[in-house]
């Protein structure tokens, strides 16, 4: 697998930030038992990881724009390129000592995602994709799962929580999906959820209320693994709408139909 120079820059940034997160993840387990808990420490770890990524990316391409979850967007002098970064996706897992979190970095060119990297430092799983070049997990080429029917499928989702999302609407979606599928999963890291779809571990996934940095890299991973993603309106404005339904061509369609089924009137 030959990586372009740009993808290499992204991989190096993700690995470096991942190393820092791994060290801090070890410390989180110690802080778990302290009265104050690891909350403040985790937000520092998150900010530190973003700084590592921003420094690496800006050093390599000083004119590109930079949109990261932690802090103000930097508008680049090069109007065509923008990095989209989540330095720690799966913060709640990280905070609770659950090893399902990731660094996620995407590169946008003229509004299209052209490269993506998602790295889980706890499992050493590095997902990479470049437009037209395929998707990979470490050195292995990825392909979405080939199951054609929901009844055989494991579907990932996001669950709204305290103070976030439309709980009633989600419960209706879940009620419809759970009656049709072999299993429903909630990992707690949208970037990894999408990487799992690309890797064929999940047959499909849906979630609303997401941000561009949660899904930018993952959308490319899925497309390059032969899968499809749409927003809840059936278009491809996932980065703006923050909603996504994805899978192979059969499961994506079937899942969209079930997720969007109207609320029963009785």
Q: What does the binding site for ligand IPD look like in residue numbers (CB under 6 A)?
A: 86, 88-91, 158, 188-190, 207, 209-210, 214
Residue closer to ligand IPD, measured from CB, 91 or 252? 91
188/247 with CB nearer ligand IPD:
188
Q: Is 24 an interacting residue with respect to Ca ion (CB under 5 A)?
A: no
Of residues 188-227, those binding Ca ion (CB under 5 A): 214
Between CA 184 and CA 189, with CA 188 as vertex, the angle to 5 degrees is 115
Q: What's the residue count for the chain?
A: 266
The reply to whether 231 sits in an annotated binding site is: no
Question: Known binder of ligand: residue 89?
Answer: yes
Stretch (H or E) spanning 113: strand 112-120
In the numeric block, which tokens belong to residue 198?
């690309």
Given the complex with ligand IPD, which of 6 and 157 has the nearer CB atom?
157
- 193 annotated as belonging to a binding site for a ligand: no
Q: In 10 A of CB 152, how many CB atoms?
A: 12
Helix or strand holding residue 244 (H, E): strand 244-247
CB of 94 to Ca ion, least distance (A): 9
Is-contact 9 56, C-beta < 8 A? Answer: yes
DSSP classification of residue 227: -
Nearer to Ca ion, 56 or 69 (CB): 69
**Any known ligand binding at 69?**
yes
Taking the C-alpha atoms of residue 74 and residue 82, their distance in angstroms, rounded to an integer, is 9
Residue 210 interacting partner from Ca ion, ligand IPD, none (CB closer than 5 to 8 Å by kind): ligand IPD
Nearer to Ca ion, 192 or 245 (CB): 192
Query: Is 214 assigned to a binding site?
Result: yes
Quickly tell me which residue has 């391409």 as its tokens.
Answer: 61
Please say which residue, 101 or 147, places its beta carbon nearer to ligand IPD: 101
Angle, alpha carbons 81-107-92 (nearest 5°): 130
Among 24, 56, 86, 203, binds Ca ion (CB under 5 A): 86
The least distance separating Ca ion from the CB of residue 190, rounded to whole angstroms, comes to: 6
How many Å apart are CA 216 and CA 67, to the nearest integer? 11
158 binds, among Ca ion, ligand IPD, none (CB under 5 to 8 A by kind): ligand IPD
Q: Extract the tokens encoding 182.
A: 């072999």
Residue 97 contact among Ca ion, ligand IPD, none, beta carbon within 5 to 8 Å by kind:
none
Instruction: Give 208's contacts (C-beta < 8 A, 6+ positions apart).
Output: 158, 165, 166, 170, 232, 242, 243, 244
Nearest approach in angstroms of CB 89 to ligand IPD is: 4
- Sequence-distant (6+) residues with CB within 8 A of 175 are none
Least Å distance, CB 214 to ligand IPD, is 5
Residue of 56, 89, 193, 203 that binds Ca ion (CB under 5 A): 89
What is the Cα–Cα distance from 247 to 106, expressed in whole angstroms?
A: 20
Number of amino acids touching Ca ion (CB under 5 A)? 5
* Residues of each annotated binding site for Mg(2+): 69, 86, 88-89, 214
Instruction: Give me the residues that bind Ca ion (CB under 5 A), please.
Output: 69, 86, 88-89, 214
């Amino acid at each position: 697998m030959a990586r372009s120079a740009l993808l290499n820059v992204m991989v190096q940034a993700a690995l470096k930030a991942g190393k820092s997160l791994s060290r801090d993840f070890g410390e989180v387990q110690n802080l778990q038992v302290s009265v104050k808990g690891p909350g403040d420490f985790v937000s520092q770890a998150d900010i530190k990881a973003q700084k590592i990524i921003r420094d690496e990316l800006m050093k390599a391409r000083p004119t590109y724009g930079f949109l990261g979850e932690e802090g103000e967007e930097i508008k680049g002098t090069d109007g065509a390129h923008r990095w989209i970064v989540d330095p720690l996706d799966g913060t709640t897992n990280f905070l609770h000592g659950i090893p399902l979190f990731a660094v996620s970095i995407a590169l946008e060119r003229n509004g299209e995602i052209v490269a993506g990297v998602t790295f889980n430092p706890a499992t050493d799983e590095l997902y990479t994709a470049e437009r037209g070049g395929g998707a990979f997990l470490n050195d292995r080429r990825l392909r979405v799962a080939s199951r054609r029917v929901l009844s055989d499928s494991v579907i990932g989702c996001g669950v709204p929580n305290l103070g976030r999302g439309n709980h009633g609407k989600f419960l209706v979606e879940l009620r419809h999906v759970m009656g049709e599928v072999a299993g429903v999963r909630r990992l707690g890291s949208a970037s990894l959820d999408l990487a799992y779809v690309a890797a064929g571990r999940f047959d499909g996934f849906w979630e609303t209320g997401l941000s561009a940095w949660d899904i930018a890299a993952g959308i490319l991973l899925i497309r390059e693994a032969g899968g499809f993603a749409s927003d809840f309106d059936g278009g491809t404005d996932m980065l703006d709408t923050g909603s996504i339904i994805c899978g192979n061509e059969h499961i994506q369609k079937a899942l969209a139909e079930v997720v969007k089924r109207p609320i029963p009137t009785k």
